[in-house]
Amino acid sequence: HPIEVAGILASLHMDVQSVCTALLHDVLEDTDTDHAQLTELFGLEIADLVNGVTKLGQLELSNPDATRERKQAENFQKFVLAMSRDIRVLIVKLCDRLHNMRTLDFHPKEESRRRIARETLDIYAPLARRIGVDRIVTELEDLSFKHLQPGVYENITKRLAAWRAGQDVAISQMSVAIRDLMDQHDVHSKVYGREKRAYAIWRKLDRQGITFEDVADIYAFRIIVDDIPTCYRVLGMLHTTFRCVPARFRDFISVPKPNGYQSVHTTILSPDNTRMEIQIRTARMEDVAGRCVAAHWAYNNQS
């Protein structure tokens, strides 16, 4: 488990101290080793980080009878206070929970699995979303959803597979068309697609009261370019070449989300009238979209 957690931290390109903390994060709680010994062996910085992760895991609610919303609010407050000293403590804790969720199938008791999944969905996933670590939040949500509503999860997963099979040709044609458009205008870019996850689809169905067929952004293309002016140039190229859906345009470059996310979103119609969401951003924006606080931390601490 510690090695797997360290691997997740490494995939986020966190620093050596964070990876070491992941390897050692259960030592104070599960062994007789104390803070002084950790400091002697690995230095004060790593010892403090391990201690912070340990304390984070020991946080308890002051009111066990509080509503779910109250529990979530109280935990947010405690986690924010705990992370204020060093954001790396929080990131290690989220990676710890992610690996716990990846192995939750092996937990022997269904009641405990559901409790852990509910805690993850109500506390850890929103916290990961709050600091913008998209790579973690989407997986936490999907894994929690799988355990809390297995029937619904399976249904949406099957419908996604059927949708994918029916849209393969349209997606492939649009991919070629976008790449050809970039080449025609000599725009250096990377183009790839992403499919909406099961929980995100269910949440949209539940909140908006729509059907699966009404979800417009099941599949989206991302166009990664060199700089901000090129983002808007590509937007103009797309709107000139394809019909756009007017109500589906959002500019998060000029007005970033609170967690730092930046991108231009638009939806266009393919030649066969299939709606395709397009996200246009720079390479750094793409990195921040996936790692957010982790990326900002890395950029701000480069020597």
Active site residue ranges: 29-30
Long-range Cβ contact pairs of 110-113 (< 8 A, separation 24 or more): 113/147
Q: How far apart are CA 204 and CA 210, in angstroms?
A: 8
Q: How far apart are CA 201 and CA 71, in angstroms?
A: 25
Q: How far apart are CA 90 and CA 88, in angstroms?
A: 5
What is the DSSP code (8-state) at residue 252? T
Alpha-helical (H) ranges within the chain are 2-11, 16-24, 27-30, 35-42, 44-57, 68-83, 87-102, 110-119, 125-131, 134-148, 150-184, 198-208, 228-241, 283-291, 293-300
**136 touches 130 (CB < 8 A):** no
Question: Based on C-alpha coordinates, what's the Rg of the chain?
Answer: 22
Q: How far apart are CA 157 and CA 134, in angstroms?
A: 20
Structure tokens at 163: 């949708």
